[in-house]
Every structure is written in structure tokens, then in C-alpha cells.
Amino acid sequence: MKLQLIGTGSITAPQTSASSLIDDHILIDCGTGVIKELMKQKINIFDIDTILITHLHADHFFDLPYIILLRSFNQITNNLKIYGPKNLKKKVNALFEIGYADLDDVEKLFFAGNTSIVEFDNLEKEINGHLITSILVEHGETKPSYGYIIEKDGKKIGFSGDSCYCQAIDHLVDSCDVSVLECSFPYNSKEHMGPEIIEKLALKGKIIVTHMSLYTRKELKKRNIDNVIIGKDSDIFHI
């Protein structure tokens, strides 16, 4: 599988919001700045047929209206399915209402660009040869918050989304060839993981770190941990 890091920052960092692309067509999270970043990285955004949203925080889904608008303007005929937690559709409609109050019928946009939103409790689905499984992670009071495992040709890549250190993260690192983990905080909190946790998890498996604040990026560099790659926007890996 090809893994491209679109964004690797948290909201306090100059890097784009955390987002990853698998095999040029599966996007994990579409937060603030992601659409512009995809264009900068010269990715054909209309090749993306699947978007997996981890949870309903701005830095993970606020750019969805742009991709829906662009697909509609260009009358893209291949389907785009956006998978995410309950209430995703309502929240995206609310974004359209705030940002484009003059639009009389948002449904027309979805229709014209062949875009749909699929809300789930538990996702296990094969899409174009990729088996996609959701896992419930712990992200403070934000419930549900999902991570994902994507499997193809016997290889598995895990995505933590936003999560504190919990059983699901252990499972992710234990079962995946590579885990793309968030590291937003200087320490482990109820919402996020810190560099110390990343160091412990790296004893068990290969980790690519994303969703970093400036502090955690600097701290991870200082620690120079075996088995850990500090992600940069536009990095590409073949797994």
C-alpha cells in the first residue's frame, strides 16, 4: 500500500491538519486546510472515492463542504462515499448553512457530484480490494471517536485518529505492520497521547507520528526513538 501523509499537524502547529491518503483514493480525515494541501501535493482529488472521518472535531472534517462543492461544480460521475460517525450529515449541512447561506438545496450538490455520506456504528467493509475496519478509541468526552485499520495484500496500516492511550491503541499497534498515531500533548491526557507513550508503544511496533503540536514534534526529535518516524506533510511510504 502507498501511504501519503497529507497533513501532520495539530491545531497549534503550522503543518496542515492530520490527514492521510492510501493508494491515492482513500482519505483519512478531511479537516481544515486538507483540500488546499491535496492540491499543493498535486493529488487529483477526484480520484478519491472513500473518505473516512475519525470524529467530529473541526480539524478532522471541516473541509468536507469544499470537496462536495468541487465535485458538484465539475459534475464528477464516479462515486465518493464519506464514512463517519452518527450526526456527520447534520454537521456538514450545518457547515453549508453557515458558510453558504444562499444555497437553497444542499442535496443538489451531493447529487450533482455523486457524493454521499454514510454514518456507521461499526464499519467493516471491503472497498476496491482494501478491507476497512473501524475501532473505537478514547478521546475524552468526544464519543464516538474512531480509529481505522486498512488491510490489503496481507499488510495492515492502523490510524489512531485522536485518542488517549487505551486498549484500542494497544490492539492497533499489536495487529498492524505500521501504526499512524497522534501525539498532540506533552503528556498522556484523557484526550491525547504524549511522546512518552509513543516511546513505550514503539517497543511493540513501527510507528509514524502525526497530529503533532510544535512541542511534541520537537520533543520526539530530541528523544530520537527507534521504530518511530516523525511524519512530515507530503511524506510517502510504501508498506
Give 144-147's long-range contacts (Cβ < 8 A, gap of 24+): 144/55, 144/85, 144/86, 145/54, 145/55, 145/85, 146/52, 146/53, 146/54, 146/55, 146/85, 147/54, 147/172
Alpha-carbon gap, residue 9 to 214, rounded angstroms: 8
Alpha-carbon gap, residue 56 to 227, rounded angstroms: 30
Q: Shortest Cβ distance from residue 139 to Zn ion (Å)?
A: 6
Closest to Zn ion by CB, 110 vs 148, is 148
Q: Shortest Cβ distance from residue 65 to Zn ion (Å)?
A: 19
DSSP symbol at 16 = P
Q: Shortest Cβ distance from residue 171 to Zn ion (Å)?
A: 20
Q: Shortest Cβ distance from residue 137 to Zn ion (Å)?
A: 10
- Per CB under 5 A, the segment of 25-33, 34-42, 52-60, 215-223 that binds Zn ion is 52-60
Using CB under 5 A as the binding criterion, the count of chain residues that bind Zn ion stands at 2
Measured in whole angstroms, the distance separating CA 168 from the mean position of its chain's CA atoms is: 16
Residue with cell 484523557: 190
Task: Please give the C-alpha separations between residue 191 and each of 26, 94, 127, in angstroms, as whole numbers.
Answer: 26, 25, 30
Q: Shortest Cβ distance from residue 211 to Zn ion (Å)?
A: 8
- Per CB under 5 A, the segment of 26-34, 40-48, 162-170, 197-205 that binds Zn ion is 162-170
For residues 28 and 148, the answer to whether their CB atoms sit within 8 Å is: yes
Query: Is 29 one of the binding residues for Zn ion (CB under 5 A)?
Result: no
- Per CB under 5 A, the segment of 19-27, 49-57, 179-187, 208-216 that binds Zn ion is 49-57
Query: Is 162 one of the binding residues for Zn ion (CB under 5 A)?
Result: yes
Which positions ≥6 away from 166 have C-beta within 8 Å?
Answer: 137, 138
Site string for Zn ion, 111-150 (x = CB under 5 A): ----------------------------------------
Query: Is 182 one of the binding residues for Zn ion (CB under 5 A)?
Result: no
Alpha-carbon gap, residue 52 to 75, rounded angstroms: 22
Interface residue with Zn ion among 10, 43, 57, 80 (CB under 5 A) is 57
Q: Shortest Cβ distance from residue 162 to Zn ion (Å)?
A: 4
Closest to Zn ion by CB, 1 vs 88, is 88
The residues of the shown chain that bind Zn ion, judged by CB under 5 A, are 57, 162
